[in-house]
């Protein structure tokens, strides 16, 4: 079998999620194997560029696309016109996470305009040999907050001979991820150079969170690197997480899914010094008996253990109780705990456990020896440890490799955990990117042999 390589350019490349997926993609047509070669990644964030190079092995140019000239872009790719251009411009101004008033500010409007500016630069640079395929990915709300820009983009692409398709998709269903991640996708096919249709990728089952996290060591394992450090929460946050049922959030507490008024919990023992907040989960990996080092909460309506002179909730083996007398009104969308056997919501760049249902009930409880810097371990009523997700676990849920090509634990540029999470949350999940890449290859390969039409096994994309 012979091999044909197609070239790809990645605008606003981030840490390289799309490039990783394209590199994994393979297509076959009548004895011809197709693959992608990434020419270059371009981003204005130096840490993203460093991550891109480390993960993909491909050069990344740190530059402002809005200020680039066509001759600069042509030189950056070594004069090679890309077959495919993938672009995922900044989505902050389009995102529902940003209030409408703030989104109207000029700094966000300038980011929004990069949607049009980036592709205008590409089409000007390669006016005589335009890319066969252009793929734009963003948040679904771009169709509302960026409606005017999309009108201009359609006009630009149609004027250059492209057929267009716009839709939203679930990256979890495209890539078989353990999360639901709804995104907007815009595909443009240059009719003159690529007559064959692009067909949709097949839909895959969305996996459970535990299927992914089970393969990782417990948080704080030294061999997993700094990204697998468990966030240190405030003590009250640990307690709140333990009271939230797996699969629920604060809205479930008034209905009695927290520790009930008429029940009691066991003794709380051992402890640590929690500090910063983060994303949490309920870890069901138990396989243990209650012991020193694992917290339990006394049920409200049952007797407490023997009262001793201990006053703390740490190693001195004092007590904690689930008090239902809340002083706040539970709010929708805040501090939720995901079940181990279900998918997560979309992985975003937020690092605050209070901002979304991004905690999990985990079944694996660490022993004292596995916790050199022990966090509080409160065993919830469902028998799991409701704990924060580590940054490495978020990367795994996003489909990123947990180890670098040299076999060492995944590392990202810089020292800020918040920025690591932001770049992970902004990344295109590589498994979803691979599915998109293989759908593109199924269209590109027949055209190499001059075939103008092929039947597909799924619906037409474009």
130 and 30 inside one domain? yes
- State which of 389, 410, 436 marks the end of a domain: 389
Identify whether the C-beta of residue 409 lies closer than 8 Å to the C-beta of residue 227: yes
200 and 299 inside one domain? no
186 and 303 inside one domain? no
pTM comes to: 0.81
Identify whether the C-beta of residue 63 lies closer than 8 Å to the C-beta of residue 16: no
Q: How far apart are CA 285 and CA 323, in angstroms?
A: 27
Quote the number of domains for the chain.
2
185 and 52 inside one domain? yes
Is 58 inside any structural domain?
Answer: yes
pLDDT in tens, 421-448: 999 989 999 999 999 999 999 999 999 8
Residue 291: domain span: 230-389
% of the chain with per-residue pLDDT over 70: 77
Report DSSP letters for 271-292, one per residue: -----S---EEEE-B--S---T
252 and 365 inside one domain? yes
Is 394 inside any structural domain?
Answer: no
240 and 200 inside one domain? no
- Exposure of 44 by Cβ count < 10 A (0-12 exposed, 13-18 middle, 19+ buried)? middle
178 and 248 inside one domain? no
123 and 165 inside one domain? yes
CATH number for the domain that contains residue 130: 3.40.50.150
Identify whether the C-beta of residue 430 lies closer than 8 Å to the C-beta of residue 17: yes
- State which of 339, 367, 389 marks the end of a domain: 389
Say what the pLDDT of residue 284 is: 60
Is 200 inside any structural domain?
Answer: yes
29 and 62 inside one domain? yes
pLDDT in tens, 177-212: 988 899 999 999 999 999 999 999 999 999 988 888
238 and 273 inside one domain? yes
Identify whether the C-beta of residue 208 lies closer than 8 Å to the C-beta of residue 341: yes
Q: Is the confidence at residue 303, as pLDDT, over 80?
A: no
144 and 99 inside one domain? yes
Q: Is the confidence at residue 286, as pLDDT, over 50?
A: yes
Closest-CA residue to 370 (of 316, 291, 310, 298): 291
- CA distances from residue 113 to 183, 240, 321 in whole angstroms, order as listed: 19, 42, 53
Max alpha carbon distance in the chain (Å)? 85
The helix (run of H) or strand (run of E) holding residue 449 is none
Between β-strands 32-43 and 27-29, what pairing exists: parallel, antiparallel or unpaired? antiparallel
Q: How far apart are CA 392 and CA 119, in angstroms?
A: 33
Is 412 inside any structural domain?
Answer: no
Identify whether the C-beta of residue 34 lies closer than 8 Å to the C-beta of residue 444: yes
Closest-CA residue to 118 (of 86, 95, 144): 86
Is 176 inside any structural domain?
Answer: yes
Is 223 inside any structural domain?
Answer: no
Is 456 inside any structural domain?
Answer: no
pLDDT in tens, 211-241: 888 899 988 888 999 999 988 888 888 888 8
pLDDT in tens, 345-367: 777 765 455 555 557 778 877 76
195 and 245 inside one domain? no
Is 396 inside any structural domain?
Answer: no
Q: What is the distance, to the nearest Å, from the Cα of residue 49 to the centroid of all Cα atoms in its chain? A: 18
């Amino acid at each position: 079998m012979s091999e044909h390589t197609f070239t790809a350019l990645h605008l606003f490349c981030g840490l390289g999620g799309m490039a990783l997926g394209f590199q994994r993609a393979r297509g076959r047509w009548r004895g011809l194997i197709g693959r992608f070669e990434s020419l270059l990644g371009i981003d204005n964030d130096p840490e993203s560029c460093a991550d891109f190079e480390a993960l993909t092995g491909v050069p990344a140019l740190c530059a402002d696309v809005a200020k680039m000239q066509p001759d600069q872009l042509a030189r950056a790719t070594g004069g090679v016109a890309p077959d495919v251009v993938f672009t995922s411009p900044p989505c902050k101004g389009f995102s529902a996470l940003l209030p409408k008033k703030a989104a109207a500010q000029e700094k966000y409007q300038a980011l929004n305009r990069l949607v049009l500016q980036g592709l205008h630069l590409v089409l000007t640079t390669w006016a005589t040999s335009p890319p066969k395929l252009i793929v734009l990915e963003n948040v679904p709300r771009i169709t509302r907050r960026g409606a005017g820009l999309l009108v201009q983009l359609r006009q630009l692409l149609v004027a250059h001979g492209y057929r267009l398709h716009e839709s939203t998709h679930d990256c979890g269903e495209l890539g078989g991820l353990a999360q639901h991640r709804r995104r907007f996708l815009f595909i443009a096919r240059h009719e003159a150079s690529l007559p064959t249709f692009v067909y949709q990728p097949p839909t895959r089952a969305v996996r459970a969170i535990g299927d992914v996290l089970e393969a990782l060591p417990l948080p704080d394992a030294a061999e997993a690197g700094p990204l697998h450090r468990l966030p240190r929460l405030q003590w009250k946050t640990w307690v709140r997480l333990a009271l939230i049922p797996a699969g629920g959030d604060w809205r479930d507490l008034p209905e009695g899914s927290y520790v009930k008024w008429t029940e009691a919990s066991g003794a709380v023992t051992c402890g640590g010094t929690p500090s910063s907040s983060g994303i949490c989960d309920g870890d069901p990996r138990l396989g243990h008996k209650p012991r020193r080092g694992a917290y339990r909460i006394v049920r409200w309506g049952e007797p407490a253990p023997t009262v001793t002179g201990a006053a703390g909730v740490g190693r001195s083996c004092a007590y904690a109780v689930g008090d239902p007398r809340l002083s706040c009104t539970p709010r929708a969308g805040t501090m939720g705990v995901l079940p181990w056997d279900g998918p997560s919501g979309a992985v975003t760049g937020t690092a605050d456990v209070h901002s979304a249902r991004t905690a999990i009930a985990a079944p694996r409880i660490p022993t004292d020896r596995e916790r050199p810097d022990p966090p509080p371990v409160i065993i919830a009523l469902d028998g799991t440890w409701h704990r924060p997700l580590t940054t490495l676990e978020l990367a795994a849920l996003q489909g990123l490799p947990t180890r670098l090509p040299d076999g060492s634990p995944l590392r990202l540029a810089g020292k800020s955990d918040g920025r690591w999470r932001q770049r992970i949350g902004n990344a295109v999940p590589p498994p979803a990117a691979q599915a998109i890449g293989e759908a593109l290859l199924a269209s590109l390969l027949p055209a190499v042999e001059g075939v103008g039409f092929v039947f597909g096994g799924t619906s037409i994309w474009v």
